[in-house]
Amino acid sequence: MTTRLRGKAAIVGVGTAGLGEAPGFNAMDIQALAVHEALEDSGLKLSDVDGLFTANMSHTFPAISTIEYLGLKPRWIDGTNTGGSSFVAHALSATMALEAGLCDVALICYGATLRSDAGRMTPAAEQPTYEIPHRPRYPMTAYAMAAATHMARFGTTRAQLAEVAVAARAWARMNPEAFERDPLSIEDVLSSRMVMEPLSLRDCCLLTDGAGAVVMTRADRARDLPNKPVYFLGGGIASYNRAVSEMPDLTTTAARDSGERAFAMAGLKPEDMNVLQLYDAFTINVILFLEDLGFCPKGEGGAFVSGGRIAPGGPLPVNTNGGGLSFCHPGMYGVFTLIEATRQLRGTAGERQIADAETALCHGNGITLSHQATAIFGTAAAL
């Protein structure tokens, strides 16, 4: 009875801080600002938070460091770290903990200052022993290999990959908080510097600073708070491998299972979704996830995204904030999928608002296509 969690909790507050560049601040500083913002938004206080869900790559014990910095005394902590998918998975765990009465107010948060610190990804302490001697560059190598395999098997083209980056940029141009807002064409993507065949610079996400926070509470309490509740309808996770060399098939991700689990819990289908937030660390991700989550058949993702179908004005809005490709990507992007879904379902997304959005799908991806988490949210109309 996995549907037991459907509609039992809701997002009631969201906040961001330090998006883009935050020189002179550390990850915990900007995370605290995002948390303050999310709590102000929710109408709750820091002292109300009794459940903490967090992960990062800068701290060995992120949850404990966060409670100390914020002065929390949580009854329940979940520090499960699955990479960038962590926070989408946390939305499922938070709903579970809230429904079980382990906590009443759940805080999901993340902060990182990669851009200001070193301007590159902090490598995870543990790396695949038998891959490292061959000098891969992670995370890029894994996604480049997935793209190369997809192109060889299905005839996907670099121009189709570029459609994903161009759509993301078109959305970012309508988001005043997006880091990259200059016009971007297919030709610009194709002619940008080759970084890791077949991925060029514009096929790769940004590397920014940034923090995000989400406050969740049980549905009954959510209705008494100032914002329109954004109800959790379903969630699922799936993982088969850490290293890309251990991935059973580079053209099919575990999102196939996480998505199926989330849709089953929500009692909804892909065609019921009004807006998608898909973890776009690289352009190939969006194509893989559209296929694996059931929005188009396997192998047809390239054709599916062509002609602006996921761009503003297209029939399937994807990554309406500009995504990791153009909005913000501080190493682990997943929390921003929850924040943008919330803004769309509240109807407060400004120029980029999708008319009458009642349902949203968030998809998080962790490490090198190693962990997948899907969560589906809806307004009261979708309950």
Partner 1 sequence: MTAQLPASGPDLEFQTHVEDGRLWLQTCEACDRAIFMPRIICPHCGSLRLAWHPASGLGTVYSRTVLYGRPKPGDTRPTRHALVLVDLDDGPRMMSRLPDTDPDDIVIGMRVKARIEGETGAHVVVFDPAGEANA
Task: Note the residues at the interface with partner 1 (CB under 8 A).
Answer: 128-131, 133-137, 140-141, 144-146, 148-149, 152, 193-198, 243-246, 250
Going 99 to 103 to 106 to 111, the CA torsion angle's sign is: negative
Specify the residue for token string 């509240």. 346
The least CB distance from residue 244 to partner 1, in Å, is: 7
Closest to partner 1 by CB, 197 vs 351, is: 197
If residue 41 lies in a helix (H) or strand (E), which one and from where to where? helix 27-42
CB 111 within 8 A of CB 18: yes
CB of 112 or CB of 247, closer to partner 1: 247
- Nearer of residues 1 and 125 to partner 1, judged by Cβ: 125
What single letter denotes the amino acid at residue 81? N
- Which strand (E) or helix (H) includes residue 57? none
**Nearest CB to partner 1, comparing residues 243 and 303:** 243
- Residue 343, CA distances (Å) to 215, 337, 340 in order: 13, 10, 5
- Smallest gap from Cβ 250 to partner 1, in A, equals 6
Strand partners, 13: 215
Closest by CA position to 278, among listed 205, 219, 215, 208: 205
And the tokens for 373? 């988490």
Q: Which is nearer to partner 1, 80 or 149 (CB)?
A: 149
Shortest Å distance, C-beta 166 to partner 1 = 22
- Residues 371/381, Cβ–Cβ less than 8 Å: no
**Closest listed residue to residue 82, CA positions, set 74, 92, 72, 73:** 92
In whole angstroms, how close is the CB of 373 to partner 1 at the nearest point? 23
Q: Report the nearest approach of partner 1 to the CB of residue 188 (Å).
A: 18
Q: Which is nearer to partner 1, 132 or 381 (CB)?
A: 132
Beta bridge partners of 10: 217, 231
Shortest distance, position 241 Cβ to partner 1, whole Å: 10
Shortest Cβ 143–partner 1 spacing (Å)? 9
Between 198 and 323, whose beta carbon lies closer to partner 1?
Answer: 198
Angle (CA) 273-278-284 rounded to 5° is: 125
Both tokens assigned to 270: 């892909």
